[in-house]
């Protein structure tokens, strides 16, 4: 200040309380950030862990090779399709005879009973829409039947729904816990500032001057703490991504720290900080600096 700094930039008051509050804010934002991580990272993580789901569309006997190729090309243009392969009857037979029991049966049968087919591997994010993909395939000329791995899909979708709802519950609890800790930190800073601002008010400071001080003492630490928590989460995400420990222990990959979560944390920090600053000024305004 002696260098000409504005008086609203005076050193904060009780440093111990404010330091404790700053730690609380960082911890609170870390818990809140974990909630964001679970909520935003879960869909991508589940999607990345999905097993390949293959629909098999059987091609009628009258379909000539040129038509089959056109069919494959048409399937490739569909958004649900990640991979498509035409399988001839001979290829299907060759695959089947790899299984000893099936080979015995096929030898007893004599001729090749397999139909030609188009195997469509669904994109991981299109698995919920497998029914639409099945209907579309059935409507294509030359397709006689479509085989869908119903039981496996059912298990997959139900399992994912369970994980997703559990994740949401954990995320909500973590978000509430995080915000409560943040609220505790902000209350601690606010309480220490209220007394100081009451003194400013007695000296005649206007609402703008009180708000400037409040923003510096309350909102700025809240934003800085949320930025620090975001940076810490980003760092943890990077360490987890490139750490060999998880793969060595055969632990499933942790979802990446979601893109945009840093900004969400910053926005949450700024919003909470500004609201708390305004609340402190309002309290001084209400008590008229008593």
Site for other proteins in 2-41 (CB under 8 A): 2, 4, 6-8, 10-11, 13-14
Residues facing residue 87 across a β-bridge? 117
For 188, what's the count of Cα atoms within 13 Å in the CB-facing half-sphere?
A: 20
Q: How far is the CB of 211 from other proteins (least distance, A)?
A: 12
Decide if 62 contacts 115 (C-beta within 8 A). Answer: no
What is the contact mask toward other proteins in residues 250 to 289, using x (rule: CB under 8 A)? Answer: -----------------------------------x--xx
Residues facing residue 54 across a β-bridge? 121
> Is 124 near other proteins (CB under 8 A)?
no
From the list 180, 207, 231, 267, which residue makes contact with other proteins (rule: CB under 8 A)? 207
Return d(Cα 255, Cα 246) in angstroms, integer: 12
Return d(Cα 246, Cα 243) in angstroms, integer: 7
Q: How far is the CB of 6 from other proteins (least distance, A)?
A: 6
In order of 144, 243, 244, 246, 253, the CA distances from 249 in angstroms are 47, 11, 9, 5, 11
> Is 226 near other proteins (CB under 8 A)?
no
> Is 43 near other proteins (CB under 8 A)?
no
Cβ contacts of 276 within 8 Å, gap of 6 or more: 186, 187, 189, 190, 218, 219, 222
Q: How far is the CB of 223 from other proteins (least distance, A)?
A: 24
Q: How far is the CB of 224 from other proteins (least distance, A)?
A: 21
> Is 202 near other proteins (CB under 8 A)?
yes
Q: Which is nearer to other proteins, 45 or 200 (CB)?
A: 200
Question: Roughly how many angstroms between the first and final C-alpha of the chain, as a whole number?
Answer: 27
**Would you call 56 helix, strand, or coil by DSSP?**
strand
Q: What is the dihedral of CA 17, 22, 26, 29, to 10 degrees?
A: 90
Decide if 159 contacts 93 (C-beta within 8 A). Answer: no
Q: How far is the CB of 205 from other proteins (least distance, A)?
A: 4
**Would you call 159 helix, strand, or coil by DSSP?**
helix
What is the contact mask toward other proteins in residues 156 to 195, using x (rule: CB under 8 A)? Answer: ---------------------------------------x
**Segment lying near other proteins (by CB under 8 A), choices 67-75, 89-97, 135-143, 200-208:** 200-208
Q: How far is the CB of 280 from other proteins (least distance, A)?
A: 14
Residue of 9, 12, 14 whose CA lies nearest to 212 = 9
Q: How far is the CB of 275 from other proteins (least distance, A)?
A: 19
Residues that bind other proteins (CB under 8 A): 1-2, 4, 6-8, 10-11, 13-14, 195-196, 198-207, 209, 285, 288-290
């Amino acid at each position: 200040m002696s260098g000409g700094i504005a008086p609203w930039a005076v050193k904060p008051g009780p440093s111990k309380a404010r330091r404790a509050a700053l730690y609380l804010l960082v911890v609170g934002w870390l818990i809140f950030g974990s909630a964001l991580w679970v909520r935003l990272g879960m869909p991508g993580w589940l999607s990345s862990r999905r097993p390949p789901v293959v629909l098999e569309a059987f091609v009628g006997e009258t379909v000539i090779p040129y038509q089959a190729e056109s069919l494959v090309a048409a399937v490739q243009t569909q958004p649900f399709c990640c991979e498509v392969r035409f399988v001839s009857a001979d290829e299907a037979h060759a695959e089947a005879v790899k299984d000893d029991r099936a080979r015995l049966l096929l030898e007893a049968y004599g001729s090749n009973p397999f139909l030609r087919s188009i195997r469509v591997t669904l994109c991981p994010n299109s698995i919920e829409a497998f029914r639409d993909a099945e209907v579309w395939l059935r409507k294509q000329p030359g397709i006689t039947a479509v085989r869908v791995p119903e039981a496996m899909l059912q298990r997959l979708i139900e399992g994912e729904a369970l994980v997703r709802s559990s994740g949401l519950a954990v995320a909500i609890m973590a978000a509430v816990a995080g915000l409560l800790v943040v609220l505790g930190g902000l209350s601690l800073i606010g309480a220490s500032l209220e007394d100081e601002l009451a003194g400013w008010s007695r000296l005649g400071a206007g609402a703008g001057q009180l708000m400037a001080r409040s923003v510096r003492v309350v909102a700025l630490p809240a934003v800085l703490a949320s930025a620090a928590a975001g940076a810490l989460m980003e760092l943890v995400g990077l360490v987890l991504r490139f750490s060999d420990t998880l793969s060595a222990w055969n632990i499933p990959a942790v979802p990446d720290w979601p893109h945009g979560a840093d900004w969400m944390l910053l926005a949450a920090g700024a919003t909470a900080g500004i609201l708390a600053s305004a609340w402190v000024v309002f309290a001084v305004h209400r008590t008229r600096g008593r």
